[in-house]
Amino acid sequence: MVERGGEVAEHIAELCAALRTAESSGPHVVGITGAPGAGKSTLVGRLLQALVERGATPGVLAVDPSSPLTGGAILGDRVRMTDVDHVAFIRSFATRGHAGGLALAIPGAVRVLEAAGFDPVVIETVGVGQVEVEIAATADTTVVVVTPGMGDAVQANKAGLLEVGDVFVVNKADRPGASDARRDLELMLELSHVSGAEGDRRPPIVMTDSLD
């Protein structure tokens, strides 16, 4: 109903706002973004497993691209999360032609998950290109996933993701070129003068193999 928009979605938003207590700071929203094929869905699945083991109640909003011809979407991201779909809430959304890497209904869906008590909320964007940085306005923490040998570090720089990323993940780190990808990221972060609230903080770079 939230995805459809309209009057019903507005009523749901009002209800969610009423259910939120003054003491509630809301769930921590984590955005996972990166190029197509970077392993975002598999990484999200492993992240969910770790969160559940720590006693968290995570919710996932996975965004898939819509076909420019038919308007349909496969909504296949959750296929890679079958190991955790019994312990975490997972909902897929189609972009429906919306640019930016997200679906228009995502902010409303975050409010619904907040009212339902899910924390953290993990948002997986579509495979991003060079302008999709909308996730940074929605997430508290933006995780940018790159892989060796795909030039993702360069693409991230073009896309402006170096400016919005809070954590950078070199996924599939068992592949050749992983060290080069990390070095490229470190160089680009240095050249871009990416900093946090502390002034000179550099976002951490984490090496992962989400299949292990």
Residue 197's pLDDT is: 47
The sheet with strand 29-34 has its strands ordered as 89-94, 59-64, 121-124, 29-34, 141-146, 167-170, 205-207
Q: Could you give the CA distance from residue 48 to residue 59 in angstroms, rounded to a whole number?
A: 9
pLDDT at residue 210, rounded to an integer: 60
CA distances from 119 to 56, 105, 115 (A): 7, 19, 10
3-state secondary structure 136-149: HHHCCEEEEEECCC
Could you report the per-residue pLDDT of 99-151, keeping only the tens digit for each? 656 777 888 889 889 888 899 999 998 876 555 678 888 999 999 998 887 66
Q: Is 25 helix (H, G, I), strand (E, B) or coil?
A: coil
Residues of the chain with pLDDT under 50: 1-2, 9, 11, 68, 70, 72-73, 194-198
How, if at all, do strands 59-64 and 205-207 pair? Answer: unpaired
Contact present, 97 and 124 (Cβ < 8 Å) = no
For position 3, what pLDDT does the model report? 52
pLDDT at 59: 93
The single residue listed with the structure tokens 């429906």 is 96
pLDDT at residue 31 in the model: 94
Architecture of the CATH domain 6-207: 3-Layer(aba) Sandwich (3.40)
